Amino acid sequence: MASLQDQLLQAGLVDKKKAKEIDKEKRKQKKVAKKSAQPQVDETKLAAQQARAEKTARDRALNAEREAAAQQKAIAAQIKQLVSNNRQPYSGDTAYNFTFDKKIKTLYVSEKLRDHLIAGRLVIVAQGERFELVPRVIADKIAERNADIIVKPAEISVTVDEDDPYADFQIPDDLMW
């Protein structure tokens, strides 16, 4: 079976030059059609890839948040275990005052424990609303995990003003306030 173009050439209705031009025009239209159809597919693919990338980014952010929360829980559990295993029981008649969260708090301890607190051998750790006494080594381990719950000892200023009339009178370390 001959194509329509061959039939028209045999009938003499179209010459070879005109047939070649028509073929050329058809090939150009096919190329243009392929190129114009391709970007639509690419836009769809790009949109799908972008959606996947956004979903991946959201998933990573959620995973990072979950991991951070799990890490915080693990740290809190470690601190709780350190404190419960190493806390020193305290009770007594002597008041030991300290500041925590810009508030003055008081613990009633024995004289011996108070001396250890002043010397820095024992440190106060906040456990919710309670305060526990732990050895300095354990407090250092707790401070590595969360330094906010460690009660820092009061810093004593040793600088003396030249014009201070009470410069000759030293404040005793065991002063009760």
Tens digit of each residue's pLDDT (9 = 90 or more) over 12-29: 777 888 878 888 888 888
* H-type alpha helices, the chain: 4-11, 16-86, 111-119, 136-145
Q: Residue 156's pLDDT is what? A: 54
As given in the structure block, the two tokens for residue 28 are 């150009």
Query: End-to-end CA distance of the chain, in Å?
Result: 116
pTM here is 0.56
User: Which residue numbers in the chain have pLDDT < 50?
Assistant: none
Q: What is the DSSP string of 77-113?
A: HHHHHHHHHHPBP---SEEEEEEETTEEEEEEE-HHH
Residue extents of the structural domains in the chain: 12-86, 87-149
Q: Residue 137's pLDDT is what? A: 92
